Amino acid sequence: MGIPVGVSACVMGQKVRFDGGHKRNLFVEEQLVEYFDFQPICPEVGIGLPVPRPTIRLLQRSDGEERLVATKDITKDYTDEMIIFSDKKISGLDNLCGYVVCAKSPTCGMERVKLYIENGNTVPGGSAGVYTRRLMETMPWLPVEEDGRLQDPFLRENFVFRVFTLNDFYQTMGGEPTRGKLINFHSRYKLVLMAHCPEAYKALGRMVADISNWDIDEFYHEYRLLFMEAIKNRANRRNNTNVLMHLQGYFKRYLDKEQKAELAEIIMDYRHGNMPLLAALTLINHHLRMHPDDYLKDQVFLNPYPQELKLRYAM
């Protein structure tokens, strides 16, 4: 059974768009489908709109309120229906570990959706689709990404990583969070936090150290939110280099002079953009096999998802 992930139905190739078409995403349907159990949803069909159908848009009224209306007849207002549908649907999505939404959609877009005013002009910066806004407000820890942004290798890697991580979090908790399980999870993700957000690495470390003074349910929800927010930050070369050098220190007693020089050189080559992250990690994993270390073996930073996804090739 794959990791449960929501998706706009049109992104999965379902012909549910206003024109009877779809927005099939090859990466989603041909690669991620091997690991994710996608749950397709079309909010517009969900509120009873037909296929094909007249277009709808987001409209900002003079009082600043945003409404979901028919493009050619703004008296046809679908906002309340969409909010009711969204809240009901989202209430049953607690098991999801991620969501892929359709860009530019007035219901599913994540950002920069065209927001019109009554004279036909648009508001700079746009808005978010009604359904996706409710989704992100209700589940702020959930990894959400647009289909188009998945073409960017860095955004793609970060999104998929966050999905695998949230699934790991839920699997570790097993439906019954305990202090021991939370401490174990945090320990395995220390290097991840160091790479993605050094500030959160320190703050969450202090939080975990104080876990005995927390109500366990309150800690679970607060930690999940703060942790998932932290790893939204993309790990940059500087932070990754710091982690690689940290890993390097574990092998100083085992490597000879030439091996140390080789590892140091490849880390600096990565730092200067001459090598991908994968090159340094491959060598570190090689040394780890030769010189096992229980702490390093459990560090998710070294193997965060299946290699077959090839997500770190461009990092």
Tens digit of each residue's pLDDT (9 = 90 or more) over 47-74 = 999 999 999 999 999 999 999 999 999 9
Pair of tokens at residue 292: 């096992």
Non-local CB neighbours of 66 within 8 Å, separated by 6+ positions: 58, 59, 60, 79, 115, 127, 130
Report the number of distinct structural domains present in the chain.
Answer: 2
On the 0-12 / 13-18 / 19+ scale of CB atoms within 10 A, 68 is: buried
Which residues is 122 bridged to in the sheet? 116
* In contact, 183 and 208? CB cutoff 8 Å: yes
Looking at the structure, tell me whether residues 125 and 223 fall in a common domain. Answer: no
Give CA–CA dist 83/89, Å, rounded: 10
Angle at 196 between CA 205 and CA 228, to 5 degrees: 70
Looking at the structure, tell me whether residues 176 and 315 fall in a common domain. Answer: yes
Residue with structure tokens 């574990």?
250
Looking at the structure, tell me whether residues 179 and 301 fall in a common domain. Answer: yes
Q: From residue 236, give the alpha-carbon distance in Å to each of 96, 217, 242, 277, 296.
A: 27, 33, 10, 10, 21
**Considering only CA atoms, which of 211, 229, 80 is closest in space to residue 165?**
229
Question: Is it true that the peptide bond before 43 is cis, omega within 30 degrees of 0?
Answer: no
Range of the domain at 173: 152-315
Looking at the structure, tell me whether residues 103 and 157 fall in a common domain. Answer: no
Other CB atoms closer than 10 Å to residue 62's CB: what's the count?
Answer: 7
* Last residue within a domain, chosen from 149, 174, 205: 149
List strands edge to edge, sheet with 56-60.
66-70, 56-60, 115-117
Report the SS3 class of residue 101.
strand
Looking at the structure, tell me whether residues 165 and 140 fall in a common domain. Answer: no
Report the SS3 class of residue 235.
coil
Looking at the structure, tell me whether residues 179 and 247 fall in a common domain. Answer: yes
Quote the pLDDT of residue 196.
Answer: 98
Query: Residue 201 is which amino acid?
Result: Y
* In contact, 42 and 8? CB cutoff 8 Å: yes
| Residues of the chain where predicted confidence (pLDDT) is lower than 50 | none
Looking at the structure, tell me whether residues 145 and 183 fall in a common domain. Answer: no
Looking at the structure, tell me whether residues 99 and 224 fall in a common domain. Answer: no
Total residue count of the chain as it appears in this document: 315
Looking at the structure, tell me whether residues 96 and 129 fall in a common domain. Answer: yes
Looking at the structure, tell me whether residues 158 and 145 fall in a common domain. Answer: no
Q: What sections of the chain are H helices per DSSP? A: 26, 43-46, 79-90, 130-138, 153-173, 179-188, 190-196, 198-209, 216-230, 237-249, 257-271, 277-290, 294-297
Residue with structure tokens 């280099």?
241
* Last residue within a domain, chosen from 149, 178, 210: 149
Looking at the structure, tell me whether residues 106 and 136 fall in a common domain. Answer: yes
Looking at the structure, tell me whether residues 171 and 84 fall in a common domain. Answer: no
φ, ψ for residue 86, nearest 5 deg: -60, -50
Q: From residue 22, give the alpha-carbon distance in Å to each of 40, 70, 102, 151.
A: 12, 20, 10, 17
* Last residue within a domain, chosen from 105, 122, 149: 149
